[in-house]
Structure 1
Amino acid sequence: MDLITFTEEIELIAGAGDADDALELMRRLLGSNQTVLAIAVRRGVMGGKLDAEALLASGRKAVEEATQEHERGRRQLRAATRDLIRHGGDNIITRAAGELALFI
């Protein structure tokens, strides 16, 4: 599940859902190996009851952390591509890296 869909789902559940809806979302996330997001959803259910505020807060935090991780990965890829272009000589791989650099 992408982050936009995740955000929409937790907002819907927090607004009009119940604990069962949140737990079902958690199960779907676990089924797709998105454990961090599943844990964020589980934090919104306490004692069998939905805590909408906690669900929204943990969902926002999970999205923020995922966004930061994505940005770190992008910066690392950019640095590795730059190093390859600078030190890799002139070959098909460095030319491809140069093309890739335009999109990073």
Structure 2
Amino acid sequence: MDLTTLLDEIELVAGAGDADDVLDLVKRLIRTEQVAWACEIRRSVSKGQLDAEKLIASGEKIRRESIAHREQARRDLMKATRALLRTGGDNVITRGARELARFI
């Protein structure tokens, strides 16, 4: 499940859903091997009751972590591209890296 879909579902469940809806969402996340997200969302259900505020907070935490992960991946790609351009000489790969560097 992609991040946008997950956050939309969290908003829907927090607004009009119940604990069973959250548990269903958790099962779908586990089936797609998104266990960390499933664990975070599962914490919003306690003793069969949904804590909507906790669910919204979980969604925000997942969103913040995803943004941080994307930014770190961008920095890592930029670092690797610079290293390739410094040491790679002039070939097809380094020319592609120069083109890529403009978009990073």
Q: TM-score range by the shorter chain?
A: over 0.9
Partner Cα distance (1:102, 1:26) in 2: 39
Partner Cα distance (2:101, 2:32) in 1: 31
Unaligned runs of 5+ in 1: none
Partner Cα distance (2:63, 2:97) in 1: 30
Residue 103 of structure 1, CA deviation: 2.4
- TM superposition outliers: structure 1 runs of 4+ over 6 Å: none
Residue 2 of structure 1, CA deviation: 1.4
Counterpart in 2 of 1:79?
79
Counterpart in 2 of 1:3?
3
Question: How many residues are matched?
Answer: 104
Q: Deviations over 1:53-79 (max 9, x none)?
A: 011101111111121011101101111
For 1:1-104, list aligned pairs within 5 A: 1-104=1-104
Unaligned runs of 5+ in 2: none
Partner Cα distance (2:33, 2:67) in 1: 18
What do you get for the CA RMSD once the two structures are aligned? 0.9
Q: Which amino acid counterpart does residue 63 of structure 2 have in structure 1?
A: V
Residue 102 of structure 1, CA deviation: 2.3
**SS of the counterpart of 2:103?**
coil
TM-score normalised according to structure 2 size: 0.94
Partner Cα distance (1:36, 1:100) in 2: 31
TM-score normalised according to structure 1 size: 0.94
